[in-house]
């Protein structure tokens, strides 16, 4: 039981490039979430999903896209990377109204 | 809009001290409140979850309390150890919000040997 896994661990992007952050969970959780964490700040919700085929915006969705074709996977797509997207990205999953389980994070630097 | 505040941002204590970390929130219509631990460069680990109908939860040396009416929660750590050094984040799940969490900025705790 690996829990929530994220790849890559670290990535450097140039301004304008695109990339996909991968997230997989093996706990059969319906709900999945993407957060970003900036230094000295709490976590901000980017997008979330309550089940396969269903996604919705969180607090800071601009510049990102998601899809949820399976229960296990919830990739986050960055189009046209900008320096403001330099951050640490966390994926999490849970059953409804239960504890959220977090992945180890992806550190992204946009130069 | 729900806001979660954790003050102070950082705390340093000597080993063995009992300590309390505070969390306040503005909207009392919450489903639950969760405390997480984050080690440097790592993800978040859930410590305790308190349902809105509960007053407290305990796990080992940790005890979390919830006072919904006043919008406050505390995390009590007994007999602190250097291994407790980490950032502690409080998060609330608002009723009817599809299990979304609103986080505080966290308290960075340093326990000196």
Model confidence pLDDT, tens digit, residues A87-110 = 999 999 999 888 999 999 999 999
CA distance A47 to A69: 15
Distance from CA of B103 to the nearest CA of A (A): 6
The answer to whether the CB of B33 falls within 8 A of the CB of B92 is: yes
Contact: B104, A42; criterion CB under 8 Å: yes
CA–CA gap between residue B35 and residue A110 (Å, rounded): 31
Chain center to CA of B6: 8
- List pLDDT tens digits, range A40-53: 788 999 999 999 99
Residues from chain A that touch B25, judged by Cβ atoms under 8 A, are: none
> pLDDT-based confidence at B97, cuts 50/70/90?
low
Q: Looking at the complex, report in whole angstroms how far the Cα of residue A1 sits from the nearest Cα belonging to chain B.
A: 16
Give the whole-angstrom CA distance, residue B17 versus residue B111: 9
Average pLDDT over residues A73-83: 96
Q: What is the DSSP letter of A84?
A: G
Helix (H) or strand (E) holding A4: strand A4-7
């Amino acid at each position: 039981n690996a829990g929530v896994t994220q790849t890559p661990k670290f990535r450097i992007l140039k301004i304008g490039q695109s990339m996909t952050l991968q997230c997989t969970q093996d706990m059969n959780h319906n709900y999945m979430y993407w957060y970003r964490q900036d230094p000295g700040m709490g976590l901000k919700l980017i997008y979330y999903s309550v089940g396969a085929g269903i996604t919705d915006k969180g607090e800071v969705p601009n510049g990102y896209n998601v899809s949820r074709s399976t229960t296990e996977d919830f990739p986050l797509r960055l189009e046209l990377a900008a320096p403001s997207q330099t951050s640490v990205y966390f994926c999490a999953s849970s059953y409804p109204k239960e504890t959220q389980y977090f992945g180890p994070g992806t550190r992204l630097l946009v130069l | 809009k729900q806001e979660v505040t954790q003050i102070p941002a950082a705390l340093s204590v000597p080993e063995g001290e009992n300590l309390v970390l505070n969390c306040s929130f503005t909207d009392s219509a919450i489903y639950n409140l969760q405390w997480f631990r984050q080690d440097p460069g790592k993800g978040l680990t859930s410590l305790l979850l308190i349902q809105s109908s509960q007053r407290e939860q305990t796990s080992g040396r940790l005890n979390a309390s919830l006072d919904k009416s006043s919008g406050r929660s505390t995390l009590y750590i007994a007999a602190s150890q250097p291994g407790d050094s980490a950032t502690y984040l409080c998060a609330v799940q608002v009723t009817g919000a599809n299990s979304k969490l609103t986080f505080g900025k966290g308290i960075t705790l340093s326990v000196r040997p």
